[in-house]
Structure 1
Amino acid sequence: MKIALYVRVSTEEQESSLINQKEYIKSLYPDDEIIVYQDFGISGTKITGRDSFIQMMIDAGLKQHFITKKKFIFVADENKDPIFDKIVTKSVTRFARNTDILAIWKELEQKGVYVHFTDINKDTSSKTDSFVLNLSLTLGQEESANISERTKFGNMATAKANKIRNNSLYGYTFIRESNSLIIKEDEADVVRRMFELCIQGNGYVKISEILASEGIFNNDGQPFAMSTIKNMIHNKKYAGFNVRNQWQSKNLFSENHTNVRTKKENWIIQKNDRIEPIISEETWNLAHEQINKRLLHQNTGGTTEKRDTQGKLICNCCGKSFYICHSRKKGSAINSHPYYICATKKKEGKSVCDNDNIKLNKVDLFIDNLCKNYYKNIRLSNKARLVKLQYELKQAKTKSVVDINKQIDDIMANIVKIEEQLSKLIDNFLECSDVMKKVIDKKIKVLEASIEQNNNELLKLERTKNNINSDKLEIENKIKEIKNELKALDTAELTRDQLMDKVKFIKIDKGNKFIVEYC
């Protein structure tokens, strides 16, 4: 028998635990061929990221069916047979802590693959065992949920008690015994310089460039990243405040499990005497007054009440406008990943409009390319039209009244021939059986349609013969207009303001595809 051995240890466990699991389970099946799948340091509350588990499911004859770009379920693959007969693992919690795993067991059952759990000696092939396993899985999930709730309660309690959690903040040394942050003067000078440059009106990228030009780099000897500078300037600890409850765990027991930034009104911000302030509260406020003014495209320093794209970015799926949002994903700088989202999708969800979000910098790059290539695109379009018209003119010049008359005569002769066939069919129609009448009726309709088509062709040819010279003149005039436009086109780039004045709408389709409509 071929057996798949699955072993997993969580982050807090040692690699020796992984080895022990493998050795123990192998000892239970000394005479069987064993294929080992192992994941290390991965939580059992979700499947995403557990590469070996995913591969084991594929080898078991299942396939991933994606519901969204990231979320997927496993379904039986009709075109693939499993490479093993059974999956063996230590416990239900090693396999997974998510009740979605019940659906996987059903799919595995379709492929004739069952799962055996050695700690309780239960197997999904047994109905009695399956009931116990379902109960065990539910209890395991409940246990994780209780741990999560206790952790959240503890975090909230320590937050309200003004306990400091960040022990690796640039500019400080964390003293665990006293739960305090002590200034590191060399790094604190860099922090002060960042706030100074921000107050002077410099953007985050510019701050990084200035620091690098002054020989100031991060601890890895690299220029400070824009996201790092943003996080630092938005961190009120530098002014002596402790900020907690900024992040919240969402969808713990699902593939959508993530940490998101909470609303600012839910943050717990308290002055803390155990945090030595590197800057004054006034300095922090001045820096953020400057940041609030920097709302113009690409944060170039001016102010504006609205973006130049407002009302011009349209969802090609539902027709509503796109508007800007900011990423709340953990690890991202505040406002460091702005993106556009369809108003319908934001308000009513993906079930109503499932158009893709699009990053702000991707829209800006598209507009920049339009500026650079606006005249170039018009020239290319006009040149294509010119080639087409020149071909049409050449065709028009080769036509003569004699040739057209010959085509008319040929069509007239064809019409006469068809009419003769039609007359014979009509004569025979009255003498036929009902069955034959139906057959003849169909042929009559085909011939009548053919006569109509030939008559339409005759009308076109008559018009061409009467207007042969005027058609040539019309084409020649169009060619002349296009050539004049090509000579008159400015070769310089448009500014963004000039381009946006010409743009009526930029429609955004799925896959971040753009469709431009000019005024």
Structure 2
Amino acid sequence: MSKKKKTVACYCRVSTKSGPQASSLNNQESFFKDFIGKNANDYKLHKIYADHGISGTLLHRENFEKMLIDAGLDIKEYDYTVKKLTTVSDKAETKEIKVNYKEYTFLVSDREPKFNEILVRNTSRFSRNVLIADVLRKLREKEVYVRFLDIDKTTENKADISIIQLFQNFDELFSRDLSRKVKAGNERSIANKTVRSTPRLYGYKYIKRKSLQENNKLEARPIEDNVVRSIYRLYAGCMSIYDDELPVCDYKCATCTVERTAGVGERVISKYLKEHNIYTRNKKEFGITTLGNMLKNEKYYGYLNTGKFDAGELFSANKSVKVRDNYLLEPDTNIEAIISKELFDLCQEKRSSRYDTIKAKGLPSTSSPFGGLLVCSVCGSKYLHNSDRGRGFYQCGLKKRKGLSACNSVNVSDAIITEYMYRLMAGALSADLYQDRQAVFKAVCKSIANKIDYIERRRDPEKVEQLQADRENADSELRAYYKQLIKEEEKGEDSTTLQRLIDDTKEVLSGIQKQLDRYTKKPIAYLDECKILREYAYELLNTPDISLEGLTKRTYTVSEVLNIINCIDVYGPTNYSGGAVSELLLKPRLKMPEMVKNILHIKEDIFSKGAEEEKTMENLENVHIIPPAKLKENIDELSAKLEVLETQYF
């Protein structure tokens, strides 16, 4: 009889996207293919998961997460904000700041794993973070084991786990030590005023020093330096996108005679550079983020800004890069100036007027009261505010960034959305609210009924009772063995046989529990979900929104509308011929408790699919109405069935 092959996944990783590291990733993949080929009688390859440009100190890695999901785990991300004291300035002035944290929790799902084992070349490729121990534990619960080929150890053997954890501790200590050395090097660079930069900095040629007594240098690159000047002058408004050549400039902005406009933003500059076939050194388009970073870099006017950024502490909950409150900023002859300080300062004033004033007033970044409220029904992007010749309108974010070829959704003028909000406030929201609440109630009842049907069809009381009795007997037997073990150890007797009996009984007990879980785990989970849905259904019955009488002639304030709706879906294509769009339709998407939405497996737009026919108070008589008394009768009947099932499982 031939030996059954193990279905395996392989994982490899490199920390950066540099050429040598990319070669390392290819070597790792080739190694696994050769290894599987040599052991074809034992292994069947499911897939090789590879991450590049991501540190092993992070658990949040795209393909690493995909591998865990395929292994039967669920990944939940939690965001929260706390206040903490910090001393980020050079003057060490302690102040209170808000810090945003992200945490990742790994949960065992009901899905069957797609493979039985994960092959990793060495422990550091899998993770340099000891928190990975929780992942390994959850994988064991799904009977998916990780084999580290460098030390020939696997999580399938309990004796190997402590050795694996020891190596993982070594890997984390190595990363911490390396991080401390890098940080110390950064501090020395600040103290020694060392010019530091990436060789990829556009506009410059980075000349690395030959000895510690020298300093690094940044020399302007021909052609690229003119592109940098164009970017700054377009932003400042002393150059137009319609100019074929750069206007003559002496960079003395205070006495400049060039007629200056309001300037253009990063998006227009990006489009201008693309139209003129100007790309980055990697032959890519200048993105908005890249241009924003260039417009904030003091090196372009010949100033040293070493130590500007704080990358946070390794393994801390918040590792996002931040600009320090105070950092070294002074002229340096080792950095060739491409623009003047006056031009740089002028651009910073314009950035401040465009962004900081908006944020200081607490307004959304779109500078519009409806920023982020409109959502494109074609691609799902949020609408952003824009203007054309003084007329304000909202435009799909994807369409705004990449044009009509990416999304052809309709634009919405300020006048239309304002009028629509007034209509909702005047009572038009009532029909949508009524229709939605009825639809949600039906979905809740249907979900409860389906779960009850599943439990009743799969229920086997006799089998469950037998398994529970077997579990109780095995548990009593195990306790008796442990008592006997204590006595033998006190007498100094050989307990090898007894230890084997304990291990065998544990294995039997584990097998019984797995069988019992098959009959009870999912039903119990469904019953818990049904109780949540039942509670929400009764909450809906107690609101006036479920009853037509409670909605008649009802009006709303702005805050009430925004508390009820999650967003507004925009339906309709762009009118290529110009003019008004006849097919434009706005449909509010109403809020629902997140827990209920997750249980129902509802996407946010599930109740927006009837948007082709807008409901108003005038045509409510055409809506299929179920009287509240009938709704209550339905949920009462389901509730009675739930109570019977609860007594059988709890």
Q: TM-score range by the shorter chain?
A: 0.5 to 0.7
Partner of 1:374: 418
Cα–Cα, structure 1 residues 175 and 505, in superposed 2: closer, same or farther, change >3 Å?
farther
Written as runs of structure 1 = structure 2, the 5 A alignment for 1:338-417 is 361=384, 371-375=415-419, 378=422
Partner of 2:337: 277
Instruction: Tell me whether 1:45 sits opposite 2:77 in the alignment.
Output: no
Question: Contact 1:208–1:224 at 8 Å: present in 2 too?
Answer: no
Superposed CA offset, 1:154-179 (max 9, x none): 23323433223132333333333573
SS in 2 for 1:274: coil
Cα–Cα, structure 1 residues 115 and 193, in superposed 2: closer, same or farther, change >3 Å?
closer
Cα–Cα, structure 1 residues 208 and 102, in superposed 2: closer, same or farther, change >3 Å?
same
Please identify, of 137-146 and 193-202, the stretch whose mean Cα deviation from structure 2 is larger. Answer: 193-202
Residue of 133, 146, 159 corresponding to 2:164: 133
**TM-score by structure 2 length?**
0.45
SS in 2 for 1:20: helix
Cα–Cα, structure 1 residues 61 and 227, in superposed 2: closer, same or farther, change >3 Å?
closer
Partner of 1:233: 295
- Give the CA deviation at 1:149: 1.7
SS in 2 for 1:244: coil
Instruction: Tell me whether 1:264 sits opposite 2:325 in the alignment.
Output: yes
Instruction: Tell me whether 1:184 sits opposite 2:215 in the alignment.
Output: no
Mapped partners of 1:67, 1:17: distance in 2: 33
SS in 2 for 1:67: strand
SS in 2 for 1:80: coil
- Give the CA deviation at 1:219: 2.5
- Give the CA deviation at 1:362: 6.9
Please identify, of 163-172 and 288-297, the stretch whose mean Cα deviation from structure 2 is larger. Answer: 288-297
Counterpart of 1:160, as a letter, is A
Written as runs of structure 1 = structure 2, the 5 A alignment for 1:17-416 is 17-24=28-35, 27=38, 30-41=41-52, 42-51=54-63, 53-68=64-79, 72-77=104-109, 79-161=110-192, 162-176=194-208, 179-197=216-234, 198=236, 200=260, 202-205=262-265, 208=268, 212=272, 218-219=278-279, 225-250=287-312, 252-253=314-315, 258-265=319-326, 267-294=327-354, 307=361, 310=362, 361=384, 371-375=415-419, 378=422
Mapped partners of 1:26, 1:139: distance in 2: 31
Q: Where in structure 1 are there 5+ consecutive unaligned residues?
A: 300-305, 314-323, 327-338, 341-357, 388-474, 479-501
Counterpart of 1:246, as a letter, is K
- Give the CA deviation at 1:290: 4.5
- Give the CA deviation at 1:206: 8.1
Cα–Cα, structure 1 residues 85 and 244, in superposed 2: closer, same or farther, change >3 Å?
same
Mapped partners of 2:276, 2:114: distance in 1: 57
- Give the CA deviation at 1:269: 2.0
Mapped partners of 1:211, 1:21: distance in 2: 44
Question: Contact 1:63–1:76 at 8 Å: present in 2 too?
Answer: yes
Cα–Cα, structure 1 residues 67 and 7, in superposed 2: closer, same or farther, change >3 Å?
same
Counterpart of 1:15, as a letter, is N
Counterpart of 2:159, as a letter, is T
Counterpart of 2:219, as a letter, is I
Instruction: Tell me whether 1:7 sits opposite 2:51 in the alignment.
Output: no
SS in 2 for 1:276: coil
C-alpha RMSD of the superposition: 4.8
Mapped partners of 2:421, 2:567: distance in 1: 20
Question: Contact 1:217–1:224 at 8 Å: present in 2 too?
Answer: no
Cα–Cα, structure 1 residues 136 and 257, in superposed 2: closer, same or farther, change >3 Å?
farther
Cα–Cα, structure 1 residues 74 and 24, in superposed 2: closer, same or farther, change >3 Å?
same
Cα–Cα, structure 1 residues 284 and 509, in superposed 2: closer, same or farther, change >3 Å?
farther
Superposed CA offset, 1:54-100 (max 9, x none): 344334333333435985432222x3333444333332222222222
Cα–Cα, structure 1 residues 370 and 97, in superposed 2: closer, same or farther, change >3 Å?
same
SS in 2 for 1:182: strand
SS in 1 for 2:196: coil
Cα–Cα, structure 1 residues 187 and 116, in superposed 2: closer, same or farther, change >3 Å?
closer
Counterpart of 1:230, as a letter, is G
Question: Contact 1:194–1:207 at 8 Å: present in 2 too?
Answer: no
Mapped partners of 1:205, 1:379: distance in 2: 35
Partner of 2:516: none
- Give the CA deviation at 1:8: 0.7
Counterpart of 1:231, as a letter, is N
- Give the CA deviation at 1:273: 0.7
Superposed CA offset, 1:221-278 (max 9, x none): 9986554443333221121112122333346447x6744122231x322321111112
Cα–Cα, structure 1 residues 112 and 190, in superposed 2: closer, same or farther, change >3 Å?
closer
Larger Rg: 1
Cα–Cα, structure 1 residues 127 and 383, in superposed 2: closer, same or farther, change >3 Å?
closer
- Give the CA deviation at 1:143: 0.8
Cα–Cα, structure 1 residues 147 and 378, in superposed 2: closer, same or farther, change >3 Å?
closer
Written as runs of structure 1 = structure 2, the 5 A alignment for 1:422-461 is none
Mapped partners of 1:381, 1:158: distance in 2: 60
Mapped partners of 2:346, 2:124: distance in 1: 52
Question: Contact 2:36–2:44 at 8 Å: present in 1 too?
Answer: no
Please identify, of 3-12 and 144-153, the stretch whose mean Cα deviation from structure 2 is larger. Answer: 3-12
Cα–Cα, structure 1 residues 87 and 273, in superposed 2: closer, same or farther, change >3 Å?
same
Q: Tell me the percent identity.
A: 24
SS in 2 for 1:160: helix
Mapped partners of 2:127, 2:422: distance in 1: 58
Cα–Cα, structure 1 residues 28 and 509, in superposed 2: closer, same or farther, change >3 Å?
farther
SS in 2 for 1:63: strand
Cα–Cα, structure 1 residues 222 and 66, in superposed 2: closer, same or farther, change >3 Å?
closer
Mapped partners of 1:64, 1:215: distance in 2: 43
SS in 2 for 1:43: coil
Question: Contact 2:279–2:285 at 8 Å: present in 1 too?
Answer: no
- Give the CA deviation at 1:181: 2.0
Mapped partners of 2:303, 2:196: distance in 1: 10
Mapped partners of 2:228, 2:206: distance in 1: 17
Count residues in correspondence.
352
Q: Where in structure 2 are there 5+ consecutive unaligned residues?
A: 81-101, 211-215, 238-259, 373-380, 387-391, 396-411, 432-551, 569-587, 590-650
Cα–Cα, structure 1 residues 378 and 148, in superposed 2: closer, same or farther, change >3 Å?
closer
Question: Contact 1:99–1:141 at 8 Å: present in 2 too?
Answer: yes
SS in 1 for 2:265: helix
Please identify, of 202-211 and 57-66, the stretch whose mean Cα deviation from structure 2 is larger. Answer: 202-211
Mapped partners of 1:134, 1:211: distance in 2: 52
**TM-score by structure 1 length?**
0.55
SS in 2 for 1:288: helix
Mapped partners of 1:251, 1:262: distance in 2: 14
- Give the CA deviation at 1:141: 0.9
Partner of 2:542: none
Question: Contact 2:51–2:61 at 8 Å: present in 1 too?
Answer: no
